[in-house]
A = this chain, B = another copy of it.
Amino acid sequence: MTKAQFNRNDVIKQSTQLFWKNGYHGSSMQQIFDATGLKPGSIYLAFGNKEGLFKESIQCYGTNSLESIQQTLQKSPSIGLGVISILDKMLLESENSDYCSCFLIKSQLELSQDATQLNQTIKEQLLQIEKTYGQFIAQAYGYDKQQIYATQLMLQIFGIRVYGYLEKSTVALRQALPMSLPWLPWNEAKGGGWAN
């Protein structure tokens, strides 16, 4: 018996970077070989094919995103403030010159019409994130608000992830979000430049 000589998580991370940046069809297996330093056989033995590698990349990204959200919301003084800090982080990311939006959203739009089952995997990850937000929202604002607030939040998140590409100042976004999500404690959030 011989153990694999590479770290599976490292390979997934490197592949995720590539797929996230260039998309599924925009990334070639050759680029994967170059980025990971592995030969075709190793990749294909470990992941089956390009679709399998992509699927694991999506799942890895989704799991990390979910954990990050949960940790942020749990650590924050309140769930509302936690949500605000997540939104703030997204705006800061969008100001970066090599902004890549959200891997799940990009992939969802690219692969929705594809014959593969990938788009089901992606949809599951996105719905899982919405569900998680919903659970925290229910806890803080009541079960009757869960669905509508979660939907509203996802709507704004999706919006930010696309709007970020227009390379406009985030000033307008920092004015718009408090109006669109009036139930969040914007006045308690210090230093984000939020209008309220």
Residues of A within 8 A of B (CB): 21-23, 25-26, 98-101, 105-106, 108-110, 112-114, 119, 123, 126-127, 130, 147-148, 151-152, 154-163, 165-167, 172-173, 175-177, 179-182
Contact = CB atoms under 8 A, between A and B. Distances in A.
B179 A22 contact: no
A102 to B, nearest CB: 9
B152 A180 contact: yes
A157 B180 CA distance: 13
Contact of A165 (B123, B151, B163): B123
24 contacts: A22-B113, A26-B110, A26-B113, A100-B112, A100-B113, A101-B109, A105-B109, A109-B109, A109-B110, A109-B162, A119-B165, A123-B167, A147-B172, A151-B163, A151-B175, A154-B159, A154-B163, A155-B159, A155-B163, A155-B176, A155-B177, A157-B159, A158-B161, A180-B180
A99 B112 CA distance: 9
Output the residue of A112, A123, A152, A162 with the most chain B CB within 10 A. A162
Output the residue of A105, A110, A167 with the most chain B CB within 10 A. A110
Given A101-B112, A148-B172, A161-B162, 13 more contacts: A21-B113, A26-B110, A98-B113, A105-B109, A106-B110, A109-B109, A147-B172, A155-B155, A155-B156, A155-B173, A155-B176, A156-B180, A179-B180
Contact of A152 (B101, B147, B154, B176): B176
A140 B157 CA distance: 28
A180 to B, nearest CB: 4
A56 B98 CA distance: 26
Nearest to A127: B166
Given A126-B166, A173-B151, A23 B110 contact: yes
A135 to B, nearest CB: 16
